[in-house]
Structure 1
Amino acid sequence: MPPSPKLTSPENPDIPESQEVPRAKLWKKRVMLLVQLIVVALVVWGIWHNVDKAIDQVQQQNFSFQKLRWPWIFAAGLLYLLGSFPMSLFWIRLMRAMHQKPTTYSAIRAFFIGHLGKYVPGKALVVVLRTSLVQGENLKRSVVATAVFAETLTMVSVGAVYAAILISLWFSDRQLLLWLAIGIALAASFVTLPPVFRTIVLTLKVSKINPEIERNLAGLNYPVMAWGWGANLFGWTLLGSSLFAVMASIPDADSHLPSFMQMFPLLAATVCLAMVAGFITPIPGGMGIREFVIMEMMAPVFGPVVAVVSAVLLRISWLLAELALAIILYGIPASAPTTDNTSSEIASSEEDPAQNPA
């Protein structure tokens, strides 16, 4: 009986097909490893650039780090992470409303590790990190990325509205900052209206990547967005408390820090507007923009030196908290990924009551 003919690769007839497939997989692994190394290098560079510039700003004020009450710096970082947690839950809720089934731990892990992407120019790496790290049953990356944008825009919208209300009630003399907050609040809030957001996504021709995107978007309705507003309001309140912890760490600020309740409107408005203004710029980490807003808001009360130091300490405490948590979460991997970009499986209306648009 004659031997069976060997199957060969159409690209290279001299190489058996059984050898060509493993080689293709090997090259794919090498490319993915190279991409991961580039991403890590960009994140490390972005973080180092931000820390180095922040420390330089403090040194220019002739301020000594030895004066600081370090437990308060630790508390500031912890409050920042706690304030971000409700926002991560909203991202999960958005994905599930759009018929995705991410695992809770992998989504929270992806959310916080993805935070480091904002220190890279353009901030697009945030979306890349989140969509690549989140895991679950039959996830579509196009829907996961859409949820990232919806969550981020809602965070910006709530922060800007929060800042506009506080500034208009207590600091109406800061006209420039007030109109900045109002402008961002109106623009971001309009974009996050469910019908408007759906129209924008469909206009961007996402349906070419995912033909079922319109059906996915049907789950993004007013009750879901209202839940997100509540979660973000709670989160922004904790972020404002984080700035109070930073101020409490600076001895020179004691005389101007009578009580938490008296200072909270100023601190919350400052954090909200500073972060929102930083987010809408392509500058990595909003470097310079956040510091400008904090100085404009804080200097009339605490003086220019304390204002600059507080802005820098807020950045450092938040960055180190993000980095520490990202390292911990990265070291605790999620279960094996089951993401499927081509799956058309969608949860039924009985399993997901949030699918009917308002």
Structure 2
Amino acid sequence: MSDGGLIQATGWPRRWFRLAVHVLVLLAVAWGVRRTIASALDQLDDFPWHVQPQWLVAAGGLYLLGMLPMGLFWYSSLQAMGQRPALLPTMRAYYIGHLGKYVPGKAMVVVLRAGLLRGRQVQMSVAAASVFLETLTMMAVGAFLAVGILCVWLYRYLPGDDYLLPLAIGLWLMSGLPTLPPVFRRLALRLGVARGDPQIEQKLQGVNYPLMATGWIAMAAGWLLLALSLWAVMRALGIEGLHPVADLPYYTAAVTLSVVAGFLSLIPGGVLVREMILTTILGEIYFGHVVQIPLAGATALSVAVVLRLVGLTAELLLALLLYFVIRHAPRATPTEAD
């Protein structure tokens, strides 16, 4: 057999294996998404509601827009660590990768993002490390905002829910400490990022305090847009007496604390954890004391469920568009990948 025939013969098993892995990943994501949708729809059956579709569309748009500065920080992190992906493929991988959070264990986010950047002058282990940096920074900023808002705006309402502030502080420490540049660099080396790259320590020096300051600004902007997405969902359900600027701290506290707690729970999509905390802050504090509407708890739960469905639908539609419709130029042969 010629050398070309041998290479072709040995290449087939590898291609079939990669195809099988891709199929399994898609099936896992599809299962996670279906499970999340089914759970949300089951909860909605208990509530009478009247929807204004234009506000649901606005909520979905604000949700996706809120993730944009976070994705840009991920791109900046890759650049800071010596990787050279193009911006559009990076953002494509970022948005598609969000579907991985609906699969148990959260690891699928890393698999999807790093896999979609494979062969684009990106070292896979560094890409994985950058995903953790971006995600933990997002959670740290969210928890920090929650702590500040609970202390300044919501403190008088906390005696009935005195676990919220300690929870926010604990989540802030858990997610924030690993993002301190010296700590992150040490953790990255311990987790094996240095494999096959003798220059990795120099690349990790790019994770510094100026980069993290940029990340905190980007994440704060993203969280505020996600909070406005919550406001749009409430408008879609016809809730009156809402003030998008004056009441923004309440929306921000509800979104940040619920999402961060849901993420660190490791439950796929933070199911039930997010709804519990969102319902507590909206129902018992915002609807109960600020807006003072009847059936505050039931209304808050319906808002939480619709918010999840809006976010999931927006993520799914954009991911399908980016994956199947929007394609980029063939990948360059990397000099450092793998």
Q: How high is the TM-score relative to the length of structure 2?
A: 0.92
Asked whether the 8 Å contact 1:139–1:340 carries over to 2, the reply is yes
1:287 aligns with 2:290: no
CA 1:196–1:127 in 2, change beyond 3 Å: closer, same or farther?
same
- The whole-number CA distance in structure 1 between the counterparts of 2:122 and 2:219 is 25
Determine what percentage of the aligned residue pairs are the same residue: 41
1:333 aligns with 2:332: no
Give the secondary structure class of the aligned counterpart of 1:206.
coil
Match of 2:66 in 1: 83
Asked whether the 8 Å contact 2:102–2:268 carries over to 1, the reply is yes
Give the superposition deviation at 1:204. Answer: 2.6
Question: Which runs of 5 or more structure 2 residues have no equivalent in the other structure?
Answer: 288-295
Match of 2:10 in 1: 24
Match of 2:163 in 1: 176
- The whole-number CA distance in structure 1 between the counterparts of 2:100 and 2:333 is 21
Match of 2:137 in 1: 154
Match of 1:232 in 2: 219
Match of 2:293 in 1: none
Give the superposition deviation at 1:135. Answer: 5.7
- The whole-number CA distance in structure 2 between the counterparts of 1:282 and 1:44 is 18
Match of 2:193 in 1: 206
Asked whether the 8 Å contact 1:80–1:318 carries over to 2, the reply is yes
- The whole-number CA distance in structure 2 between the counterparts of 1:137 and 1:31 is 21
Q: Deviations over 1:165-197 (max 9, x none)?
A: 011112121321111111111232221110111
Superposed, which structure 2 residues align to 1:240-279 within 5 Å? 240-251=227-238, 253-254=239-240, 257-279=241-263
Give the superposition deviation at 1:84. Answer: 0.1
Question: Which runs of 5 or more structure 1 residues have no equivalent in the other structure?
Answer: 1-7, 9-15, 345-358
Q: Deviations over 1:60-93 (max 9, x none)?
A: x2324xx111111111111010000000000000
Match of 1:319 in 2: 312
Asked whether the 8 Å contact 2:70–2:219 carries over to 1, the reply is yes
Q: Deviations over 1:297-336 (max 9, x none)?
A: 1112431111110000100000000011111111211222
Give the superposition deviation at 1:258. Answer: 3.7
Q: Deviations over 1:192-247 (max 9, x none)?
A: 11011111112234323433221110111111110010000100000000000011
Asked whether the 8 Å contact 2:105–2:268 carries over to 1, the reply is yes
Give the secondary structure class of the aligned counterpart of 2:144.
helix
Asked whether the 8 Å contact 1:136–1:339 carries over to 2, the reply is yes
Counterpart amino acid of 1:87? M
Asked whether the 8 Å contact 1:142–1:210 carries over to 2, the reply is no
Asked whether the 8 Å contact 1:102–1:135 carries over to 2, the reply is no
Give the secondary structure class of the aligned counterpart of 1:163.
helix
Match of 2:290 in 1: none
Match of 2:292 in 1: none
- The whole-number CA distance in structure 2 between the counterparts of 1:272 and 1:77 is 17
Asked whether the 8 Å contact 1:158–1:229 carries over to 2, the reply is yes
Residue 69 of structure 1: which of 52, 75, 87 is its match? 52
- The whole-number CA distance in structure 2 between the counterparts of 1:339 and 1:17 is 22
Counterpart amino acid of 1:48? R
- The whole-number CA distance in structure 1 between the counterparts of 2:301 and 2:335 is 46
Over aligned residue pairs, what C-alpha RMSD do you find? 1.7
Asked whether the 8 Å contact 2:121–2:335 carries over to 1, the reply is yes
Match of 2:32 in 1: 46
Asked whether the 8 Å contact 2:47–2:302 carries over to 1, the reply is no
Counterpart amino acid of 1:244? W
Counterpart amino acid of 2:329? S
Give the secondary structure class of the aligned counterpart of 1:219.
coil
Residue 299 of structure 1: which of 265, 268, 283 is its match? 283
- The whole-number CA distance in structure 2 between the counterparts of 1:279 and 1:20 is 47
Q: Deviations over 1:318-356 (max 9, x none)?
A: 000001111111121122223637469xxxxxxxxxxxx
CA 1:129–1:258 in 2, change beyond 3 Å: closer, same or farther?
closer
Give the secondary structure class of the aligned counterpart of 1:335.
coil
